[in-house]
Chain A
Amino acid sequence: MNIKKCIDAINACRFCFMCRHLDPVGNVTFNESDTPRGRALIIDKIRMDRENLNNQDFINTMYKSALSAANRYHCVSHYDEAGLVLAVRKDIVEAGLAPEAVKKLAKELEHVDFKVEGKGSNLYFGEMPELYPDSKLISGGDPGKALEVLGFTNESKNVFEKFKKAVINSKCETLIVAEPSSYDFLKNKFDNIKVIHSSEYLLSAGVNSQTQSKAYYLDSDYLKNYNDNLKAPRELLESAGYKLAMFGTNQEESYSVGEGAVVYDKLYPELAKKLAERVWEQADNPETDLIITASSYTKSILKKYNPAFNVITVEEAVLKAKGN
């Protein structure tokens, strides 16, 4: 079983309460099972008796996790509770026990075709090619990260192979990735191609603006909690003239509304809505505050459940500043 490789995290998390305040799902459902301790206890029961893997309540709890990794980031020893949930998801899938909704979604995610268009020495993977005039554009869907977090390892590899082929055929040496989940997935997957997040690329390219707008930056799970990249998006926004204020009451909670789980709203729309409602509650002046996020997933979920959110992506913020 994959979870047996994570015995240190199981032992560390199963009786530990020290990060429970940071679980985004636990903070809206108030369920003990939606905290790292609650999930680790369940996984420990599965470890002790594989029969427990058949328990539908346990399976559902594992897919309800938003995989924010805010807990891991907070932990002084950085025990990988998110990795633990990913391991048990793999065990669920390998045992053929994935819920029907998960299987159906996985099938959909397998059907992707990637195409490259345009001219340039770099290859851009995102939604705002106008910011990258010297780059080719690759498009077609998720490159395998969503399947990976759902526990479909082989299917994820197959999708990635298609993506990889398209990238290699482009003959570009740098891949600029906008969506943080894709960046996290792709960053170490190529031998001779440099993978860079769009905020790092835009920051190095330089943005000068006369804009002086107050804005709140919502950290991305994948940039901050998974890759410890707090600086690049902030420095980019500041160089674009945004005066950044702290969102909510602290900088530890994840407000990325399920970004860590990549396709969270497809499986748990009611929970994604609750996560969006919490962001609304935590905002200083939700109807007027300008919120900027690195993740277009986060933006889309916030807007989907409350169109009144004044939220844009980092790339849109840069474009807006350039326009000024």
Chain B
Amino acid sequence: MPTVQKSYMYEMIRSELAWVVGEEHIQTTDSDKLGHSIDYYWVPELWHDRGEKLTPPDFIVHPATAKEVSEILKIANTHNIPVIPWGGGSGSQGGALPIYGGIMLDMKRMNKVLSIDPVSMTTTVEVGINTQHLEWEIEKAGYSTMHLPASIACATLGGFIAHRGTGVLSTKYGKMEDMIMSLEVVTPTGEIINTLPVPRHASGPDLTQMFLGSEGTLGVVTKATMKIHPIPESRKFHAFLFKTMHDAMVAGSRIMTSRLRPCVIRLYDEPETAKLIKKVLGIDKQGAYLVFGFDGYEKMVDLEMEQACEICKTLEHEDLGTEMGQSWWDNRYKFFYPPYMFHMPQAFGTLDTVATFSNIEKVYWAMKNTIKENFPQATFIGHFSHWYEWGCMLYARFIIDEPPKDPHEAIALYNKIWDMAIRAAIKEGGVINEHHGVGLKLGRIMKDLYGPAYKVLQDIKKVMDPNNIMNPGKMGFQGKGA
């Protein structure tokens, strides 16, 4: 595609796209191209920081309907041009980067709440909607999506669908794949299809689940029906400090395996407790900080909270009480604002991994030891974010305060850390990853993760997208090449 940019074909294709969406809704300015050349992935951020030239999209197109999306994909097939769906652009894996140029399909114009069904407690929405706007609109109607991630204000619903995103309250209300009822999808060849209207059925494999997490490689999700929930009468929090992360993990896993239903549990390892919990919440303690919450009818919240606290008290602990738990909830997004978030010139990455309770500590130590032994310049911290009946997610992070000045050297070091740490995690039963997605960052590891099963994913991609126009080169799938 970049060769086309300087030829008359550039204007030929631009005119075709403008005919579909209108002149006003196609951008080719330097301002717009810059904004769409960088997402929340460290590598393009570094590239910009070091003054290197980024790869921009050729066209940024804002469709208003599924039919317009369909027409755009047909044009892309005709000219064999890559199409990259873009929501909020806040993905951390490089999934929305236009690595081969092409058409950036910015979905934010499709941002309407189409209906709310108070009987079934569902809402049908266009997926380009910013999730904070969605939540505000649903709250005004008296409900909540209960999808409250730190990136709620940054990302679109489509972005969360693309990466199987999750929110702070996932332990009770589920991840995106638990929240979605059905999808409208434009396939790579331009057909507009709908998946079955309910997520529980015995009518063959579940197409909704196939598109969830496909990161724009199997088509463009344009509409979704998702669950909504009543606003709970009460939501309460409690925090404990344990001497070791292991003790805190035992407490957290016992809460989950006892089948209590917290809306959130979060456990910070000793280094993150000392560093981030102190910096953001002002709690200056040595040990592992564990916070959990319950919501619903107040009587049930109090009862479940009492039981959870009893479990914690069977281990060596310091009871930090409700205030230091509530403080975490009140400041839960603060961790992600500057200057609290890691930032340039630091190199940093979230080694997001999920595993069973039997394996999760082994995964933690495998990654931590790998980094400690091989990258002495890196700091390793971690917390356990999203908890299930069988295990939890490890939100491990490495930070290098002074990475190499040369951007190629810096990226080489960065990739080596990922390669070694993630492969160490996979050996111990870890899965990459729980909610950030694969994108460009982790595509090369997909074959190791899936083994022979990866061919099934590749075959699905080939059949659905014969010209390989949809987000090529992501999730380990074939690139567009020269």
Given that A21-B153, A30-B62, A79-B338 are contacting pairs, would A15 and B31 also be in contact in the complex, using a CB cutoff of 8 Å?
A: no
Tell me how far the C-beta of A36 lies from the nearest C-beta in chain B, rounded to whole angstroms. Answer: 11
A42 to B36, CA, bound (A): 12
Given that A21-B132, A32-B32 are contacting pairs, would A249 and B140 also be in contact in the complex, using a CB cutoff of 8 Å?
A: yes
Q: Which one of B111, B137, B154 lies within 8 Å of A17 (CB-CB)? A: B154
Tell which of B30, B137, B151, B339 has the most Cβ of chain A within 10 Å: B30
A22 to B31, CA, bound (A): 19
A22 to B133, CA, bound (A): 9
Q: Which of A36-88 contact B (CB under 8 A)?
A: 37-38, 41-42, 44-45, 48-49, 55, 57-58, 60-61, 75-77, 79
Residues in chain B near residue A45, CB distance under 8 A:
34, 48
Given that A18-B337, A33-B31 are contacting pairs, would A11 and B344 also be in contact in the complex, using a CB cutoff of 8 Å?
A: yes
Tell me how far the C-beta of B30 lies from the nearest C-beta in chain A, rounded to whole angstroms. Answer: 4
Q: How large is the interface on B (under 10, 10 to 19, 20 to 34, 35 or more residues)?
A: 35 or more
List the B residue with the shortest CB-CB distance to A59.
B31
Residues in chain B near residue A308, CB distance under 8 A:
none
Residues in chain B near residue A32, CB distance under 8 A:
32, 35-36, 89, 106
Contact flags B36-76 to A (C-beta < 8 A → 1, else 0): 10101000010010010000000010100000000000000
Is A20's CB within 8 Å of the partner chain B?
Answer: yes
Tell which of B34, B133, B154 has the most Cβ of chain A within 10 Å: B34
Q: Is the CB of A42 within 8 A of B34?
A: yes
Residues in chain A near residue B359, CB distance under 8 A:
none
Q: Which one of B109, B133, B343 lies within 8 Å of A30 (CB-CB)? A: B109
Q: Is the CB of A11 within 8 A of B106?
A: no
Residues in chain B near residue A38, CB distance under 8 A:
31, 34-35
Tell me how far the C-beta of A143 lies from the nearest C-beta in chain B, rounded to whole angstroms. Answer: 32
Residues in chain A near residue B139, CB distance under 8 A:
249
Q: Which of B97-143 contact A (CB under 8 A)?
A: 106, 108-109, 111, 128, 130, 132-133, 136-137, 139-140
Is A31's CB within 8 Å of the partner chain B?
Answer: yes
A32 to B29, CA, bound (A): 11
Q: Is the CB of A44 within 8 A of B338?
A: no
Q: Tally of A-B residue pairs with Cβ under 8 A?
A: 105
Contact flags B334-349 to A (C-beta < 8 A → 1, else 0): 1011111101100000
Residues in chain A near residue B166, CB distance under 8 A:
none
Contact flags A172-208 to B (C-beta < 8 A → 1, else 0): 0000000000000000000000000000000000000
Is B329's CB within 8 Å of the partner chain A?
Answer: no
Residues in chain A near residue B32, CB distance under 8 A:
31-33, 57
Q: Is the CB of A12 within 8 A of B338?
A: yes
Q: Is the CB of B108 within 8 A of A18?
A: no
Given that A31-B27, A55-B30, A58-B30 are contacting pairs, would A48 and B51 also be in contact in the complex, using a CB cutoff of 8 Å?
A: yes
List the A residue with the shortest CB-CB distance to B155.
A17
Is B88's CB within 8 Å of the partner chain A?
Answer: yes
Is B187's CB within 8 Å of the partner chain A?
Answer: no
Given that A21-B153, A33-B32, A33-B35 are contacting pairs, would A41 and B48 also be in contact in the complex, using a CB cutoff of 8 Å?
A: yes
Given that A30-B106, A32-B36, A75-B337 are contacting pairs, would A20 and B154 also be in contact in the complex, using a CB cutoff of 8 Å?
A: yes
Given that A38-B35, A42-B34 are contacting pairs, would A20 and B153 also be in contact in the complex, using a CB cutoff of 8 Å?
A: yes
Q: Is the CB of A41 within 8 A of B38?
A: yes
Q: Is the CB of B338 within 8 A of A57?
A: no
Is A128's CB within 8 Å of the partner chain B?
Answer: no
Residues in chain A near residue B88, CB distance under 8 A:
17, 20
A17 to B96, CA, bound (A): 15
Q: Which one of A15, A31, A57, A76 lies within 8 Å of B45 (CB-CB)? A: A15
Residues in chain A near residue B336, CB distance under 8 A:
18
Tell me how far the C-beta of A142 lies from the nearest C-beta in chain B, rounded to whole angstroms. Answer: 28
Residues in chain A near residue B48, CB distance under 8 A:
14, 41, 44-45
Residues in chain A near residue B106, CB distance under 8 A:
30, 32
A32 to B337, CA, bound (A): 19
Tell me how far the C-beta of A96 lies from the nearest C-beta in chain B, rounded to whole angstroms. Answer: 20
List the B residue with the shortest CB-CB distance to A30.
B108
A79 to B154, CA, bound (A): 17
List the A residue with the shortest CB-CB distance to B41.
A15
A20 to B132, CA, bound (A): 10
Residues in chain B near residue A15, CB distance under 8 A:
38, 40, 45, 343-344
Residues in chain A near residue B29, CB distance under 8 A:
33, 57, 60-61
Q: Is the CB of B153 within 8 A of A17?
A: yes
Tell me how far the C-beta of B165 lies from the nearest C-beta in chain A, rounded to whole angstroms. Answer: 14
A57 to B106, CA, bound (A): 19
Tell me how far the C-beta of B114 lies from the nearest C-beta in chain A, rounded to whole angstroms. Answer: 14
Is B333's CB within 8 Å of the partner chain A?
Answer: yes
Q: Is the CB of A12 within 8 A of B339?
A: yes
Q: Is the CB of B137 within 8 A of A77?
A: no
Tell me how far the C-beta of A23 lies from the nearest C-beta in chain B, rounded to whole angstroms. Answer: 11
Q: Is the CB of A19 within 8 A of B136?
A: no
Q: Which one of B111, B136, B155, B333 lies within 8 Å of A250 (CB-CB)? A: B136
A11 to B151, CA, bound (A): 19
A60 to B31, CA, bound (A): 9
Residues of B within 8 A of A (CB): 27, 29-32, 34-36, 38, 40, 45, 48, 51, 60, 62, 88-90, 106, 108-109, 111, 128, 130, 132-133, 136-137, 139-140, 151, 153-155, 333-334, 336-341, 343-344
Closest 6 CB pairs of A and B: A32-B35, A17-B154, A249-B136, A33-B31, A12-B338, A38-B35
Residues of A within 8 A of B (CB): 11-22, 30-33, 35, 37-38, 41-42, 44-45, 48-49, 55, 57-58, 60-61, 75-77, 79, 249-250
Can you list 14 A-B contacts (CB < 8 A)?
A17-B89, A17-B154, A18-B337, A20-B130, A21-B130, A22-B153, A30-B108, A30-B109, A32-B35, A57-B31, A61-B31, A77-B337, A77-B339, A250-B136
